[in-house]
């Protein structure tokens, strides 16, 4: 990876990590668009790469919030169980969706989420 790409990837990761720690989001909202628009990876690669990167980001964020007593472990356990069941379904579906359709679905989801947050 060229130096410019190294710096861009580090910057995208930093912003995603900060957003994740601050807002509970970062992978999908920051990393995926950054990987596609700045680093030029495909939408499929961006989704998969974001998921790989979010694991250590989530662990660090969890540890800090756990130290401050902010984690509801009962709800977290249920979320993990649901996510472990849903992630393979989503990953298989994503691998079958054409690049353009995946980009469109992702863009619509971001817009809808943004509008819902404003309203």
For residue 42, the model assigns a pLDDT of: 95
Question: pLDDT of 50-76, one tens digit each?
Answer: 989 888 988 998 999 999 999 999 999
What residue ranges do the domains of the chain occupy? 3-118
In the predicted model, what is the mean pLDDT of residues 11-37?
A: 84
Tokens of 79: 């979320």
Where on the phi/psi map is residue 116: left (φ > 0), alpha (ψ -120 to 50), or beta?
A: alpha
For residue 28, the model assigns a pLDDT of: 78
Longest dimension (CA), the chain: 44
Q: Residue 1: pLDDT above 70?
A: no
pTM: 0.81
For residue 78, the model assigns a pLDDT of: 95
- Closest among 3, 15, 90 to 57, alpha carbons compared: 15
């Amino acid at each position: 990876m060229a130096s410019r790409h190294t710096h861009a990837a580090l910057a995208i990761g930093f912003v995603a990590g900060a957003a994740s720690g601050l807002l509970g989001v970062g992978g999908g909202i920051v990393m995926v668009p950054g990987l596609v628009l700045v680093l030029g990876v495909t939408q499929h690669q961006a989704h998969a790469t974001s998921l790989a990167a979010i694991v250590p980001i989530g662990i660090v964020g969890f540890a800090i919030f756990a130290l401050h007593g902010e984690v509801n472990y009962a709800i977290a356990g249920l979320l993990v169980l649901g996510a472990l069941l849903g992630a393979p379904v989503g990953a298989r579906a994503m691998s079958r969706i054409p690049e353009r359709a995946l980009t469109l679905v992702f863009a619509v989801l971001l817009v809808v989420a943004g509008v819902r947050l404003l309203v």
